[in-house]
Amino acid sequence: MAARERVVLTAAGVVTPIGQDLEAFWSSLVTGASGISQIERVPVADLRVQRGGEVKKLGRIKDWRGVPDCRASRLLIAAADDLCSQAAFRPLPLDPARVGVVVGTALGGVEEGEKALAGDRGRRRLPDALYDAPGWNLARWLGARGPVITVSTACASGATALAVGADLLRSGEADAVVAGGYDALSRFVLRGFDALRSLTRDEVRPFDRRRSGLLLGEAGALGLLVRERDARGPRLGTVLGYGSASDGFHIAAPEPEGRGLERAVRAALADAGVSATDIDLVSAHGTATLLNDRIETAALKRALGRRAHEIPINSIKGSLGHTMGAAAALEAFMCLLSAQRGLIPPTLHLEESDPECDLDYVPGQARAARPRLMLSTSMGFGGCNGALVLEAA
Amino acid sequence: MRAPAIRALGVLSGAESATRATSPARSADRGSAGAISGPPQMKSLKKETVDPRILTLARPDRPGDRFRRATRECLLALAAVDAMLEDGKTSREAIAGERTALLYVTAAAYGASNREFIERRGGVMHFAYTAPAVVPAEVAIEFGVVGAYGILIGGAPATLRAVEQAARLLEAGTCDRALVLVVEIFEECADLYARHRRFYRWPLVETAACLWLERGAGVLAFESARGGRRGRGAAREGERFAAGPLADLRDWRARGSPGPLELSGQWRGEYARLHWSPEISHARGSAA
């Protein structure tokens, strides 16, 4: 069988609660900064938990003319602006018909639907409420005329988008793909998670004995993918493999043994053509819910065997909250930056170990290390499990 | 790319129910749908509708407490899989397990549950049901489908892309069979669609469909481009969003599968086409 085309990530752009460009994001992660604050943009007074990882002011772009007044679209476009400033990608340096866009989201433009149902008769509110609208708005802003794909594998969406983007390149349908994920904080999702009692009033403490739930965050995270043979200049790393698997267990709760996540990890390793012993770093989903962290730990132990006890495993959700559709893309970028910078960000607010979470979760402060192969795991509503294997540049 | 073989197809369509009646409030017939009986005719679930421009499918009855709060789109997805199994003359065990991939596509089916949650109309809507991911999740839970999965949001081109993705998964050996599931419902948001009626080809036809693919021998070609051409199916019967290609496939089979098969569709200015080679094959026998 012919060797599979390698796909590399040449640049990334982000907008997050801890920084509105890749450098600020990275600096905040390694210094242990927190992006959690009182939510101000939407009314939360009636909710049990009123904090989250909110981006207070989208400061990157001064002139939003021509861009819909849609928070989700603007998060995406702000992340794209960061990407384009690094990669000189706007105006597009290649045939627009050969540039694809693949974005992952759990919520799409649902906030536009909220506004429309509240009586806002704005011409674009309803069309932008469809979950694929922000992806098309991004393509329009970029000037991309190639395939535009929206995936919605819940909180694994960002990983799925990077994998689908890599497939578009391998199939020859595009020569460059802007891929990643996004989601905005809205009353819709805040009320939903509040009702599920998944949110904590404490800090987000992944893998900590005292962990009591997650906080939501908002973000946009996009990477520029190209085939390795077409790549010029610097690169962040390679998307080596991807695996997915359904739990087939419950619409909201993870399967108690983490079998779905285990299958996804095994599939990703197989897709990448590597073994568990090759993995040097795991970016865990690590939401800090009681169930997630215990189940994820068990799944990683089974999928990676002894290697799970030998390597660092971190979660960045203590810093910025659970950014849903953006989470897996941000975590993938964190992995690649760790390799590039030789530093692994800590798991913020992890202070007391849990006997059921007994792996090395990088507590305290950033750790010097230069991983070569990294695994990023994701779990989402509906039993969506995804895993990415990434290789350092 | 090697074309997958079509093992079975289940399509539930509001067009077949032919109930363009104007009737009392839609809430009145919640839970009143008849049981599904099957293919190849696949009698549609009849339902009266408040909007004559929407051809609707009723909420299927499904026994079991687990489905008490399930949304109409979830129950229709399950019904589509049932119909597909009937078409394939096989049992649910044939699709269970980790060697079955599940790809779900919708443009807008989540609109109903999103709206209900926003407006608190149901009052007890479980938030998780607002996620598109929960529709294939219900299928995964009910039928034990725990292999690779994907969820694409978009119109007909997304469905054609899902078939291509299924072919790729089959060719790579990631799975032994792949299900492409599509659900589109409109009724709960009929007034919202009406505000933007110029964007759509009316009537809107509610559809739930599931296509079972296995490794095949022909050749599959997928192409997409920006441009305004419309798919044949959409022009003939109304707008089905992502479900159009599978309804077209059903029609093609009903005509005796005259090859070659070409499915097409457009969405937001993207036109996509999927061409199956004349050697298109129909898998036979057990899928196990």
DSSP output for A223-252: EEEEEGGG--S---EEEEEEEEEE--S-SS
Q: What is the mean pLDDT of residues B122-150?
A: 91
* B83 near A CB under 8 A: no
- Domains annotated for chain A, with CATH where assigned, are 7-230 (3.40.47.10), 239-392 (3.40.47.10)
Q: Which residue of A has its CA nearest to B174?
A: A267
The CA distance from A142 to A102, in Å, is: 13
Q: B181: which strand partners?
A: B104, B210
CB-CB neighbours of B196 under 10 Å:
11
Highest-confidence segment of A300-314, B227-241, B271-285:
A300-314
Per the DSSP assignment, residues forming a β-bridge with B5 are B214
Tell me the pLDDT tens digit for each residue of A5-45.
999 999 999 999 999 999 999 999 999 999 999 999 999 99
Verify whether the Cβ–Cβ distance A113 to B118 is below 8 Å: yes
Residue A346: cis peptide before it, omega within 30 degrees of 0? no
Please report how the helices A133-142 and A71-87 are oriented relative to each other, as an axis angle in degrees rounded to 10.
30
Could you give the CA distance from residue A327 to residue A219 in angstroms, rounded to a whole number?
8
Q: What distance in Å separates residue B57's CA from the closest CA in chain A?
A: 21
The CA distance from B86 to B41, in Å, is 11
Distance from CA of A150 to the nearest CA of B (A): 5
Q: What angle, 0 to 180 degrees and rounded to 10, lies between the N-to-C axes of helices B110-119 and A110-117?
A: 50
Q: How large is the average pLDDT for residues A339-351?
A: 98
Residue range B151-160: average pLDDT? 98
Task: Flag whether residue A195 sits within 8 Å of chain B, measured between CB atoms.
Answer: yes
Q: Does B190 touch chain A (CB under 8 A)?
A: no
* B285 occurs within a structural domain: no
pLDDT number for residue B28: 29
Q: What is the rounded distance in angstroms from the CA atom of residue B213 to the CA atom of residue A383?
A: 23
- What mean pLDDT do residues A303-318 have? 98
CA-based nearest distance A334→chain B, Å: 24
Rounded Cα gap, residues A110 and A295, in angstroms: 30
pLDDT at B24 over 50: no
Percent of chain A with pLDDT over 90: 95
Contact B148 A129 (CB under 8 A): no
Q: Residue A219, SS3?
A: strand
* Contact assignment for A381 to B226 by CB distance below 8 Å: no
Give the model confidence (pLDDT) of A251-296 as tens digits: 999 999 999 999 999 999 999 999 999 999 999 999 999 999 999 9
> Please, which residues have CB within 8 angstroms of residue B265's CB and are 6 or more apart in sequence?
B155, B156, B157, B159, B160, B231, B233, B234, B244, B245, B271, B272
* B140–A246 CB contact, under 8 Å: yes
Whether A242 and chain B come into contact, CB under 8 Å, resolves to: no
The total number of structural domains in chain B stands at: 1
List pLDDT tens digits, range A43-102. 999 999 999 999 999 988 988 998 999 999 999 999 999 999 999 999 999 999 999 999
Mean pLDDT of A327-350: 98
Choice among A220-229, A264-273, A363-372, B32-41 with the minimum mean pLDDT: B32-41
Per-residue pLDDT, A79: 98
Closest CB to B119 among A117, A147, A384: A117
Q: How confident is the model at residue B120 (pLDDT cuts 50, 70, 90)?
A: confident
Assess contact for B208 and B112: CB atoms under 8 A. Answer: no
Distance from CA of B23 to the nearest CA of A (A): 24
Please return the burial class of B68, using the count of CB atoms within 10 Å of its CB with bins 0-12, 13-18 and 19+: exposed
A90/A98 Cα distance (integer angstroms): 14
CA–CA separation, B165 and B160 (whole Å): 9
Tens-digit pLDDT profile for residues B49-96: 456 689 999 999 999 888 988 999 999 999 999 999 999 999 999 999
Mean pLDDT (whole number) for A105-128? 92
Identify the pLDDT of residue B46.
46
Does residue B197 carry a pLDDT above 80? no
Q: Which residues of A are catalytic?
A: 155, 285, 322
Chain position carrying tokens 């578009």:
A168
Q: Is A109 on the interface with B (CB under 8 A)?
A: no
Those residues with Cβ within 8 angstroms of residue A7's Cβ, 6 or more apart along the chain or in another chain = A165, A166, A169, A170, A225, A226, A227, A228, A238, A239
* Chain A from 290 to 319: CB within 8 A of any B CB: none
CATH number at residue B262: 3.40.47.10
Burial B222-238 (b: 16+ CB within 10 A, else e): bebbbeeeebebbeebb
State the average pLDDT for chain A: 96
Asked if the structure places residue B73 within a domain, the reply is yes
**Structural domain range at position B187:** 5-276
pLDDT of residue B286: 39
Cβ–Cβ below 8 Å for B192 and A116: yes
Q: Which of B135, B153, B185, B193 to mutate to test the interface with A (most CBs of A within 10 A)?
A: B153
Instruction: Copy the structure tokens of residue A74.
Output: 């603007």
Contacts by residues A121-124 (CB-CB < 8 Å, ≥ 24 positions apart): A122/A69, A124/A68, A124/A69, A124/A70
Q: To 10 degrees, what angle do helices B72-87 and B110-119 make?
A: 160
Residue B234 has pLDDT above 90, yes or no: no
Asked if residue B15 belongs to a domain, the reply is yes
Contact state of B150 with A151 under an 8 Å Cβ cutoff:
yes
Among A108-117, A242-251, B8-17, B181-190, the least confident range: B8-17
Say which DSSP state A322 is in. B
- Residue A294 DSSP one-character state: H
Contact B126, A198 (CB under 8 A): no
Q: What is the mean pLDDT of residues A307-317?
A: 98
Residue of B nearest to A244 (CA): B148
Interface contact A164-B150, CB threshold 8 A: yes
For residues B130 and A154, what is the distance between their CA atoms, to the nearest angstrom? 11
State the alpha helices, DSSP H only, in chain A.
22-31, 71-87, 110-117, 125-129, 133-142, 157-170, 187-196, 259-272, 290-304, 307-310, 317-320, 327-341
Higher-confidence residue: B231 or B162? B162
State the complex-level ipTM: 0.97
- Is the model more confident about A215 or about B232? A215
- Let me know if residue B284 belongs to a domain: no
Closest CA to A226 of A284, A146, A331, A156: A146
CB A326 within 8 A of CB A296: no
How many CB pairs (< 8 A) connect A and B?
153
pLDDT on residue A2: 65
